[in-house]
């Protein structure tokens, strides 16, 4: 029996009605998206107006918090999403700062944008070079044990520290590379601490948005799959080595950007910025904030930099003890990090339960 045209038309209309999302569903999706981005929008608005209401030293403190937030989020690409702990991420941070300072002082390149692009390229090349030998030993000695990878990355960082100390004519040796001025944007606008705050805010916001898009792309979900079960991802046909290797390069590049911003901020880079001391700081940032949520390292940076500032004012000799106490409290009562606690509170406020 031949199908009548009216039946075909009715069939198409029914399929379209089923396939087309209802208006209510679209509205609820938009509302959910607004709720998800509302904290970021509120924080961005507060950061934009903050310098008008606080003294300069608070503005400087928040600038440092933003730089270290980017530093922590860049490391979390490896640790939180790829499941790759590293003791050498500070090497990219310090290396990016040194490259920036050397380009300005010895290379005569004053333009901020040229310096920033060169820092990104050179730190990415460093990550590409160091990642090959590092990932050759990843998992050696046990099925999924990264201990040799940790030791190799630690060795890379300490090696760069020794190079910075030895190359005195280029890096200033153990006293560091000093005299790094505020950036020149190339548009005839002079930069001071006030305007540099907004420059850092803009660069960090763009970098965080780019990293967010990366970790929530197909590439990012593949990294999460490798974190959860690498053998299953290999069975599905994913080149897990390549994913881990490229994540190392990406994380190193953004760590270099944070180091570049830090060099402009402090005006000085010292060898320890690439060593274990700085690695300890970024580890604390990720642990306290949480490696399991995207904004966790941002919260961790606020805590670590804020406590460091308060301790340096009132009890500088007690800074390690204070930070150790905070870590113990967080591990005992909030083992997943402060970021998870804040996320659960946010969900309770808007959804009535910690889903």
Mind listing the pLDDT tens digit for each residue in 234-267? 899 999 999 999 999 999 999 999 999 999 999 9
Q: Is 343 inside any structural domain?
A: no
Tell me what pLDDT residue 189 has: 79
- Count of structural domains, the chain: 1
Q: Is 295 inside any structural domain?
A: no
pLDDT of residue 187 exceeding 70, the answer is yes
| Cα–Cα distance, 305 to 285 (Å, whole number) | 9
The mean pLDDT value of the chain amounts to 85
131 and 245 Cβ atoms separated by less than 8 Å: yes
Q: Is 236 inside any structural domain?
A: yes
Tell me what pLDDT residue 105 has: 93
- Which of helix, strand or coil describes residue 111? strand
> Which range has the worst mean pLDDT, 138-142, 179-183, 216-220, 340-344?
138-142
Domain encompassing residue 73: 57-279
Mind listing the pLDDT tens digit for each residue in 95-126? 999 999 999 999 989 899 999 999 999 999 99
Q: Is 188 left (phi over 0), alpha (psi -120 to 50) or beta?
A: left
Confidence of residue 65 (pLDDT cuts 50, 70, 90): very high
Q: Is 327 inside any structural domain?
A: no
261 and 67 Cβ atoms separated by less than 8 Å: yes
240 and 234 Cβ atoms separated by less than 8 Å: yes
Confidence of residue 188 (pLDDT cuts 50, 70, 90): confident
CA separation (Å) from 232 to 80, 83, 124, 235, 240? 19, 15, 29, 5, 10
Q: Is 215 inside any structural domain?
A: yes
pLDDT of residue 52 exceeding 80, the answer is yes
Q: Is 235 inside any structural domain?
A: yes
| Cα–Cα distance, 213 to 240 (Å, whole number) | 20
Q: Is 48 inside any structural domain?
A: no
Pair of tokens at residue 20:
């087309």
Q: Is 251 inside any structural domain?
A: yes
């Amino acid at each position: 029996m031949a199908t009548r045209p009216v039946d075909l038309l009715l069939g198409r209309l029914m399929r379209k009605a089923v396939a087309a999302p209802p208006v209510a569903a679209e509205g609820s999706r938009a509302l959910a998206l607004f709720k998800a981005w509302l904290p970021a929008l509120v924080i961005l608005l507060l950061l934009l107006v903050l310098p008008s209401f606080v003294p300069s030293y608070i503005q400087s403190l928040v600038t440092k918090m933003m730089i270290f937030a980017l530093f922590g989020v860049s490391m979390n690409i490896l640790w939180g999403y790829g499941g790759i702990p590293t003791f050498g991420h500070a090497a990219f941070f310090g290396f990016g700062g040194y490259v920036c300072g050397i380009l300005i002082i010895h290379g005569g390149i004053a333009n901020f944008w040229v310096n920033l692009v060169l820092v990104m390229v050179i730190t990415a090349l460093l990550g590409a070079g160091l990642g090959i030998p590092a990932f050759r030993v990843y998992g050696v000695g046990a099925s999924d044990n990264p201990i040799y990878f940790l030791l190799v990355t630690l060795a890379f960082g300490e090696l760069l520290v020794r190079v910075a100390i030895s190359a005195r004519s280029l890096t200033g040796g153990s006293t560091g590379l000093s005299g790094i001025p505020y950036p020149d944007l190339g548009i005839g606008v002079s930069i001071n601490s006030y305007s540099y705050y907004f420059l850092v805010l803009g660069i960090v916001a763009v970098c965080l948005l780019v990293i967010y898009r990366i970790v929530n792309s197909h590439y990012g979900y593949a990294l999460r799959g490798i974190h959860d079960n690498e053998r299953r991802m290999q069975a599905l046909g994913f080149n897990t080595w390549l994913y881990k290797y490229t994540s190392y390069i990406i994380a190193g590049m953004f760590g270099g950007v944070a180091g570049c911003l830090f060099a402009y901020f402090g005006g000085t880079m010292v060898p320890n910025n690439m060593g274990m001391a700085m690695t300890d700081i970024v580890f604390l940032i990720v642990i306290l904030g949480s490696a399991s949520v995207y904004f966790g390292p941002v919260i961790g940076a606020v805590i670590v930099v804020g406590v460091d500032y308060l301790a340096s004012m009132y009890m500088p000799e007690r800074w390690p003890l204070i930070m150790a106490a905070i870590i113990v409290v967080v591990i005992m009562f909030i083992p997943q990090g402060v970021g998870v606690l804040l996320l659960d509170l946010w969900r309770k406020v808007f959804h009535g339960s910690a889903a």
